Structure 1
Amino acid sequence: MPTISKCASIVYRFGHMFFDEHLEENHIGSGQQFFLLHIYEHPGISQEELAHIDHYDKGTTARAVKKLEQEGYILRKSDERDRRFMKLYVTKEGEALVFKIQKIIKQWNEMLSAGLEEEEKILVSKLIEKIAHNAQQYGKQK
């Protein structure tokens, strides 16, 4: 029987391939999409807060933010109270890309859950949430 980690790895790798293929024309990779979505969901978030959300290291976050900014999908604005503190916002171009990403996510999830009954989809979602929570608990210890 395959292990949870092996199955998760397979889904992760093919998911990256799927997103990379669909985002190629937008000049970003599968990794940057998560950062763009978080900035969209949390306008004015700092780069440090962005890294903290999903336990990304600061270097990975800095590279993703730089790439998104270079492509015109986000912009940085100085905090009014402390000019050294930069806040991140999605541009109109970035917002259009967010909507595209949301459609791609829906398509990917439909592919992953093909052939499952509605009750099975609900159960899988609950179980994968628990598994992700367990992984996050490990991350919090580090």
Structure 2
Amino acid sequence: MAEILRPIGIIARALDSIANVEFKQFDLTKGQHLYLVRICENPGIFQDQLAELIKVDRTTAARAIKKLEEKGFVTKRADTANKKIRRIYPTEKARRTYPNILRENVYSNQVALKSLSTDEADELERLLEKVSDNIDEDWHYVKKGNRRTY
């Protein structure tokens, strides 16, 4: 069987490490840019939705959101229909930072795909989406307290 998870992990860690260095100038650390992008793309998202998008547990998401709030990147407001839900919105500071994160993402994509043809890049994207969907099933299964059988 093909070993894909090791190179995927290496790629993810390398890009995360690069982002942590490059986004330090914006006062973003330890993957906070991932949260900020999703909040900017989905203003009014609530914590559980954000955790689902990024594939982290609610506690990890809560800590990251709290730090972003303390740094002035996001604000929370009660939902108009359900006061228990606190929706997360980007601040002006976040909206100013967001284009820089997008530029880095575009650049990193270009670097990652530079030796692939357009057809190969499209095929890789399609296949990675399938792999992501496969992993998503297990992620939900385990998050519900189940254990996988190896």
What TM-score, normalized by structure 2, do the two folds share?
A: 0.86
Contact 1:23–1:30 (CA<8 Å) still a contact in 2? no
Aligned residue runs from structure 1 range 1-142, under 5 A: 3-142=3-142
Deviation at 1:73, TM superposition (A): 0.9
Structure 1 stretches lacking a partner, 5+ long: none
Alpha-carbon separation, structure 2, partners of 1:136 and 1:82: 28
Alpha-carbon separation, structure 1, partners of 2:124 and 2:58: 32
SS in 2 for 1:72: coil
Deviation at 1:9, TM superposition (A): 1.1
Alpha-carbon separation, structure 1, partners of 2:62 and 2:125: 31
Deviation at 1:136, TM superposition (A): 0.7
Contact 1:44–1:87 (CA<8 Å) still a contact in 2? yes
- Deviating more after overlay: 105-114 vs 51-60: 51-60
Aligned AA (2:56):
Y
What TM-score, normalized by structure 1, do the two folds share?
A: 0.91
Q: Could you list the per-position Cα deviations for residues 92-142 of structure 1 after superposition, in whole angstroms to 9, with x for gaps in the alignment? A: 110111111111100111111111111111111111111111111111212
- Number of residue pairs matched by the alignment: 142
Contact 2:45–2:89 (CA<8 Å) still a contact in 1? yes
Alpha-carbon separation, structure 1, partners of 2:34 and 2:15: 13
Q: Could you list the per-position Cα deviations for residues 35-83 of structure 1 after superposition, in whole angstroms to 9, with x for gaps in the alignment? A: 1122112211111222233331111101110111111111111223444
- Give percent identity, aligned residues only: 25
Alpha-carbon separation, structure 1, partners of 2:80 and 2:116: 50
Structure 2 stretches lacking a partner, 5+ long: 143-150
**RMSD, matched Cα:** 1.8
Contact 1:43–1:89 (CA<8 Å) still a contact in 2? yes
Alpha-carbon separation, structure 2, partners of 1:124 and 1:134: 15
Alpha-carbon separation, structure 1, partners of 2:110 and 2:89: 30
Distance change >3 Å, CA 82–CA 132, structure 1 → 2: closer
Contact 1:28–1:67 (CA<8 Å) still a contact in 2? no
